[in-house]
Structure 1
Amino acid sequence: MADEAGDDSLYPIAVLIDELRNEDVQLQLNSMRKLSTIALALGVERTRSELIPFLTDSMCDEDEVLLALAEQLGSFTPLVGGNAHAHCLLSPLESLATVEETVVRDKAVESLRTVAGDHSPADLETHMVPLIKRLATGDWFTSRTSSCGLFSVCYSRVSTTVKQELRTLFRNLCGDDTPMVRRAAASKLGELAKVVEREYVISEIIPMLHNLANDEQDSVRLLSVDGCVSTAELLTEQECEQYLLNTIKDASSDKSWRVRYVLADKFTLLQKAIGANLTNQHLVPAFQALLKDVEAEVRAAVAHKVKDFCDQLVSDAREATIMQNILPHVKQLVSDANQHVKSALASVIMGLSPIVGKDATIEHLLPLFLLQLKDECPDVRLNIISNLDCVNEVIGIEQLSQSLLPAIVELAEDAKWRVRLAIIEHMPLLASQLGQQFFDDKLNDLCMQWLVDHVYAIREAATVNLRKLVEAFGVDWAKESIVPKVINLSQDQNYLRRMTTLFCINELSPALGGDHISKLVLPTVLRMANDEVANVRFNVAKTLEKIGLLVDGASVSAEVKPTLQRLSHDADVDVQFFSQRALQILA
């Protein structure tokens, strides 16, 4: 090795060997990450003849290093001489595809899929297909698992005879003795279905799908749901009815909640693939079953899909189907014992309003919205308030204000301060949906009332709320509706409320801008520098520090700094400290 190291032409390989033999994993990892640089130094011929064989023969046992190698090799085709020589990368990647660590195998398969795209059809049959066969018939389940992800990238570019061999191999993997292999096959069945000729989708892919959907392992059955989606997209409506509907119905009543959960999660994708007519005829009962499932996870997953499911129903029967088959179960979910289920439903239920129309919304949905607005779970209330615009478009602002707004106001004045806090946090969103005029008429006073709440957290949140409202409605609105009321607080007998004035000014100043600060709020802050309470005075100093950075230099020199200099000699040490700090920052 010393001789090799002395030969400049072998230097990169010699260094790489030494580093990979080093016990320091980080050093090995760094070496792998600079493989492309080493390959460039060697040139394409020596990379093929020396570097790739070395990497194949000297696999270490550190998963991090192997992962880095698998990732690097996926982009190595140009470094070995282009597409004509891409096959030389298969050997090290094949070894990596058989290791025990899943993330390494997955990355190796990802790189193999990339490299397969660099092969010509002839090279695929000569080099890639034999690799797939070796992996698919290997003794260890790791190799058979990895092979499942390679069929779809080769299938469409090989001869008819080889295609038949690949389909047979994949069918064997679907019936493998090891559950992990069947899982891998189930997860890739949809990919293969998309590239297989249509005649074989029905004659071969669908039987594989049925076998996987009836597997004894629920981890295999749940993956077959994705296969159903992919296959349904390839079939006619009549074929879906003949070959897939029973499988979907069986999944909706599967003994494993995990299978039912995945079906619930994928239900609208299945619905879209199968078509609206078959959905109305056959899938509505399955959807109903999921809505009343015994497992909360399943109910939460399907609750998320209620709006999309209803939206995709056949238009002429949509409203009747919703009212008779879906809404009764939705009403049950509104009062579900699990907060995740209620929250999931609240995030989509408002979207039913445009689907069912004004009358049905007022009669059936508004009572549910009111219940959710009073729910003890804050996420439920947030999700309802976040989607009020859907209802507003259907029933109008007047009806909305009569039915839902009283509930919102009631929550805003709730005895529990955490409930009030939750409503404050939703207020900017609510205001933007309802509009400025409606906000001024109905909610402005409420927002100002929070500024004098006896709980500090509420007052603090209220000041942040005002800033967000100014950002939504603009400075002109703030000048008329907010700033005068904030300034009035500076005259309050309670020093805590006078301090709230300063907190509001701190929040509002960036939104107001320099000119408006000088004209509207600076005189108030300067006057408050004479407050008899030290806490107010040192907050004045902190506020002057902040707005001094926003107003023009003349105002700082003529008004801000003289006030701060006077406060820097205040009898209170805290006032002195914050005033001196402000002077240093504004210097």
Structure 2
Amino acid sequence: MSGGGVSDGNAAGSDDSLYPIAVLIDELRNEDVQLRLNSIKKLSTIALALGVERTRSELIPFLTDTIYDEDEVLLALAEQLGTFTPLVGGTEHVHCLLPPLESLATVEETIVRDKAVESLRIIAEEHSSADLEAHFVPLVKRLATGDWFTSRTSGCGLFAVAYARVSSNVKADLRSLFRNLCQDDTPMVRRAASGKLGEFAKVVEVEFLKSDLIPMFINLAMDEQDSVRLLVVESCVSISSLLQAEDVEQLVMPTLRNCAEDKSWRVRYTVAEKFTALQKAVGPEITKTDLVQAFQSLLKDCEAEVRAAAAHKVRDFCQALDPSVQESVIMNNVLPCVKELVVDANQHVKSALASVIMGLSPILGKNNTIEHLLPLFLNQLKDECPEVRLNIISNLDCVNEVIGIQQLSQSLLPAIVELAEDSKWRVRLAIIEYMPLLAGQLGVEFFDEKLNALCMTWLIDHVFAIREAATNNLKKLVEQFGTDWAQQTIIPKVVAMARDQNYLHRMTCLFCINVLAEACGADVIERQMLPTVLNMAQDSVANVRFNVAKTLSVVAPKLNASCFSSQIKPALNKLTEDTDFDVRYYASEASMVCA
């Protein structure tokens, strides 16, 4: 079957079947980087034309000897070679791709090395066990013991893909090599080893994990470079998930405790970021005895970045607690910290907490929510930072399910109004996007009484993005409350905008009709909207008139044939004779759509 594929490729491009390597050489030596890049990107086509034998004997050696180019070209080459296995004759010959990728894995530019390692990892899976030992492992050893740190950092990423399918003696060599990389004199190499330790741990046998990798893990966690130590935290997750609880307590937890109290805020930040993954890996018992206290420390950390990262995890941490201690831990350990974070001096911390705090309501239940959480929600609804108020409002559904919206509605209103009138248009835009959710939570009566006027005000905002969002908001509200509500409450106000002195507001009227037509039936369109649109066909502003043509093309398919022939077609015919070119153009377009 594969031979047929190559034959078809040759037939499709018979000129390419004699494609000389010399042409490729000329293109790759051209001064134009883009030309060289294009040549690399069509390598698979060239290889297909050459056939598998010439690709192996000519193209791959040439590419191996030509690793001296712009980073962009080398990056494209590294990516291409990862897909080359079928083009060199399949898995039997895949090892011939190793030399050029080995060269690419040693270059100075990090993204090129990373892409070369990624391709090497792909083709490692395509080696047989014998070829892996014969060809791939020697490559790993050469990279891991190379003179330049670039080579050794690349080598770190290849141990995990080679280890599982080699013999015991080779495995011992690989573990020894990895230990050397973990103790390398160059921080960049130790950092690379630290980043791959968790991945390597997953393929190493448990006895060697304890005897060989745990000492490396402990050593890296005490490294003088915080960039090395912070990568140990992720390894902590992988290693903990592989061990029994008693081994985790004995072998991992001392290191994790040190990381949570590390002198570098970046290490503590990483612990906070990975906290729920760590919680899952160590299990409920160790969480109860060790992680609760560590989490409290992170929530009270002196660095705002750490507190914000920990605050983001409050809901997930609490949800994952053992049900037998969940409420007591939240009330006694987490909630006191949360109360302090609500009034934190840093707005990012308050915002992070506001995005998750509502999620505590379903866990704690109605009485605890009303007594302990509700005052915090109300406090955050009055916060000076718009993002804090937005985050509370966007998560209202969690609280509504537990205590009902009545408890919050009176405090909600001032916060919503302030956000709706905020000087920053992006804040106004955000509250518009939450309005359908709020409408569903608050109910139609409260909405009509308190928020309806606000939604109409947005339609005449001076920022187009706000007017556009407000228009779409109307459609969602109609879908929420129904067409009867739209006829009584929304459509009369929209239609009234057709008489506004500002032509932009008259155009917004048309935009509203466009979207409302999607949500309302033909009867409502014909009775309440169409007369307004037809009247606006005589507007003095050309922009309004050609938007009338656009609107007619939207509503026409929703109406019956008699309505179209008696009302819409005459209006479009008149617009096709308009003095303005754009009006005539859009009217003609509309006529074609409606025909």
State the TM-score bracket (shorter-chain normalisation). 0.7 to 0.9
Q: Which residue type is aligned with residue 550 of structure 1?
A: V
> 2:505 & 2:51 partners in 1: Cα distance?
75
Deviation at 1:80, TM superposition (A): 1.8
Determine if contact 1:544/1:560 at 8 Å carries over to the other structure: no
Contact 1:174 1:186 in 2 (8 A): yes
The structure 2 residue matched to 1:382, chosen from 384, 390, 402, is: 390
Residue number in structure 2 paired with 1:148: 156
Determine the C-alpha separation between the residues in 2 that align with 1:282 and 1:466: 51
Q: Counterpart amino acid of 2:353? A: L
Instruction: Find the counterpart in structure 1 of residue 32 from structure 2.
Output: 24
Q: Tell me whether 1:355 sits opposite 2:363 in the alignment.
A: yes
| Matches of 2:553 and 2:56, distance apart in 1 | 67
* Structural mapping, 1:35-434, within 5 Å: 35-395=43-403, 397=404, 400-401=405-406, 403-414=407-418, 417-418=421-422, 422=427, 425-426=430-431, 429-432=434-437
Amino acid at match of 1:482: I
Question: Residues 16 and 31 of structure 1 are in contact (CA less than 8 Å); yes or no, is this contact kept in structure 2?
Answer: yes
Distance apart, 1:560 and its partner CA: 4.3
What is the CA deviation profile of residues 528-558 of structure 1, one whole-angstrom value per residue up to 9, with x for unaligned ones? 7799xx67x9847744641354224643543
For 2:235, the aligned partner's letter is G
Residues 305-314 or 171-180, more deviating = 305-314
- Matched with 2:445 is 441
Label 1:563 to 1:96 Cα distance change in 2 as closer, same or farther (>3 A).
closer
CA distance in structure 1 between the aligned counterparts of 2:428 and 2:217, rounded to whole angstroms: 50
User: Structure 2 CA distance, aligned partners of 1:325 and 1:514?
Assistant: 59
Contact 1:431 1:439 in 2 (8 A): no
Task: Give aligned-pair identity as a percent.
Answer: 61
Structure 2 residue 564 is the aligned partner of structure 1 residue 559:
no
What SS does structure 2 have at the residue aligned with 1:381?
helix
Normalising to structure 1: TM-score of the pair? 0.88
Deviation string 1:315-342 (CA, Å, 9 cap, x unpaired) is: 1111111111111111121122222222
> What is the letter of the counterpart of residue 302 of structure 1?
A
- Asked if residue 550 in structure 1 is aligned to residue 565 in structure 2, the reply is no
Alignment partner, residue 8 of structure 2: none
Change in Cα spacing, 1:565 to 1:41, as seen in structure 2 (3 Å) is: closer
Q: Which amino acid aligns with 1:164?
A: A
Quote the offset at 1:172 in angstroms: 0.5
The alpha carbon displacement at 1:11 in A equals: 3.9
Identify which range, 67-76 or 304-313, moves more after superposition: 67-76
Cα distance in 2 between the residues matched to 1:27 and 1:462? 48
Query: Structure 1 residue 466 and structure 2 residue 474: aligned?
Result: yes
Contact 1:152 1:192 in 2 (8 A): yes
What residue is the counterpart of 1:3 in the other structure? Answer: none
Task: Report if aligned partners of 2:159, 2:174 keep a CA contact under 8 Å in 1.
Answer: yes
Q: Following the alignment from structure 1 to structure 2, what is the Cα–Cα distance between the partners of residues 444 and 419?
A: 25
Worse overlay, 441-450 or 269-278: 441-450
Deviation at 1:391, TM superposition (A): 1.0
Contact 1:94 / 1:131 at 8 angstroms: preserved in 2?
Answer: yes
**Paired residues of 1:411 and 1:423 also in contact (CA < 8 A):** no
2:510, 2:551 within 8 Å by CA — same for their partners in 1? no
Q: Distance in 2 between matches of 1:409 and 1:554?
A: 47
Alpha carbons of 1:569 and 1:174: their partners in 2 closer, same or farther (altered >3 Å)? closer
Tell me the number of residue pairs that the alignment of Structure 1 and Structure 2 aligns: 569
Uncovered stretches (5+) of structure 1, i.e. residues with no partner: 1-6
Secondary structure, aligned partner of 1:435: helix
| Aligned residue identity for 1:443 | F
Question: Which one-letter code corresponds to 2:128 in the other structure?
Answer: S
Contact 2:19/2:50, CA 8 A, preserved across alignment? no
Distance across 1 between alignment mates of 2:23 and 2:424: 66
Q: Secondary structure at the match of 1:357?
A: helix
Q: Is the 8 A contact 2:419 2:428 kept in 1?
A: no
More displaced stretch, 414-423 vs 121-130: 414-423
Deviates more, 1:238-247 or 1:538-547: 538-547
Taking a change above 3 Å as real, the CA distance of residues 500 and 134 of structure 1, as seen in their structure-2 partners, is closer
For residue 582 of structure 1, report the CA deviation from its aligned partner. Answer: 5.9
Q: Check the 8 A contact 2:436/2:476 in 1, yes or no.
A: no
Counterpart residue identity of residue 551, structure 2:
K
Q: Do the aligned residues in 2 keep the contact of 1:389 with 1:434 (CA within 8 Å)?
A: no
Moved more, 240-249 or 458-467: 458-467
- Say if 2:514 and 2:554, in contact at 8 Å, map to a contact too: no
